[in-house]
Amino acid sequence: MSNLRRLTEVLPLQDDSQVGHARRTAQSLARQVGMDDTDSGRVALVVTELATNLLKHAGQGELHLRALPRAHGAGIEVLSVDRAQGFDPHACLTDGYSTGGTQGFGLGTISRQAQVFDLYADARGAVLLARVYPRADNAPDVRFGVSHHALHNDPACGDTWRLAQNDEFLSALVIDGLGHGEEAEHAARSGAQAFTDAPFGAPQQLLPEIHQAMRGTRGGAVALARFDRRSGHLGFVGIGNISASLQGGERTRGLASLPGIVGEQYRTAVQYDHHIEPRQLLVMHSDGLQTRWRLEDYPGLAARHPAIIATVLHRDFCRARDDATVLVIELDTHHD
């Protein structure tokens, strides 16, 4: 499913007339990725409930929609995003609870239809996540999240990302092609193809391959990480202005990137190795996101699903003057 569109599709919600459009858009995407009528109907129900819940509690907001590649086929990920005063998430999960004058079955319905359901709410607003996989897909959920947006919803995006995993390694890539638009997208995709061809090589050895693939393009910033599930070590290489950090554990650790432009010129890259504590988070993002965020300012957020973390960071710290990508991965040596 490598040809699935990676950008986050944003569906504005300001009144009830937009709920039907959101439902049809999501159901159409579900069918495009091969879901049958029953599973695409589950997607439609989840989207309807999320959209209705958002309008009732927040008045307006957005749905973020994407196809989610799986080992076999694909699922659909939907997040509702608002900037209104938060609601009580525990109460709202109970059937019969409602602050909108209805029976209040919405969130309970979502949690039963989706294989993955999570939410985070505070005074800044709420983000709710639902991932719907085909009924025959019993593989575990991959604990990662990405919020990936082009400037002004341009069809071309100069940022790109990749994630690959097997029993031994989990590897991640974020590329920010210089500028934005089609030429930046071409640069980023050229580098991403080199990663896709050999994703589990050591970052220090893979970076020259990406550099060669990006020659003749605008070039860009690149961050590469490989997590060894057996040893619990993370290897990281970064060139340019992609920010990366390890969150959780005893302290937050920034992952150093060196100056240069991949595809043009950079000094010899240095791979930094870090020992990972259980369930630490790897956060990588392009400079479309401000760097002044701190997970400590969001009590409880670090324990939520990585897709919620990525979306909250994008909601609150997007610069809105460049493409923006936020990739969050939960690292755990205890892999099923």
Tokens of 305: 């699903």
pLDDT in tens, 299-331: 999 999 999 999 999 999 999 889 999 999 999
pLDDT above 70: percentage of residues in the chain: 91
pLDDT digits (tens, 9 = 90+) for 166-188: 999 999 999 999 998 999 999 99
Residue 93 confidence (pLDDT): 52
pLDDT at 153: 85
Cα angle 236, 239, 245 (rounded to 5 degrees) comes to 45
User: Following DSSP, what letter does each residue of 219-265 receive, concatenated?
Assistant: -EEEEEEEEETTTTEEEEEEESS-EEEEESTTS-EE---BSEEBTTE
CA gap 311, 325 in Å, rounded = 10
What is Dmax (Cα atoms) for the chain? 63
Q: Dump pLDDT digits (tens) for 119-151.
A: 999 999 999 999 999 999 999 999 999 999 999
Please state, in angstroms and rounded to a whole number, the distance separating the CA atoms of residues 218 and 188: 9
pLDDT tens for 192-230 read 999 999 999 999 999 999 999 999 999 999 999 999 999
Given pLDDT bands bounded at 50, 70 and 90, which one contains residue 2?
A: very low
* pLDDT value for 5: 63
Percentage of residues of the chain with pLDDT beyond 90: 82
What's the confidence (pLDDT) of residue 14? 97
The full set of domains in the chain, from first to last, is 9-132 (3.30.565.10), 144-331 (3.60.40.10)
In the structure, what pLDDT confidence band is assigned to residue 98 with cuts at 50, 70 and 90?
A: very low
What does the pLDDT read at residue 249?
Answer: 77
Report how far apart the first and last C-alpha atoms of the chain are (Å, whole number): 22
| Separation of alpha carbons 336 and 215, rounded Å | 39
Q: What is the pLDDT of residue 97?
A: 40
Query: Rounded to an integer, what distance in angstroms lies between the CA atom of residue 106 and that of residue 112?
Result: 10
pTM: 0.93
Residue 285 is classified by DSSP as E
The tens digit of pLDDT for each residue in 227-284 reads: 999 999 999 999 999 999 999 877 899 999 999 999 999 988 899 999 998 889 999 9
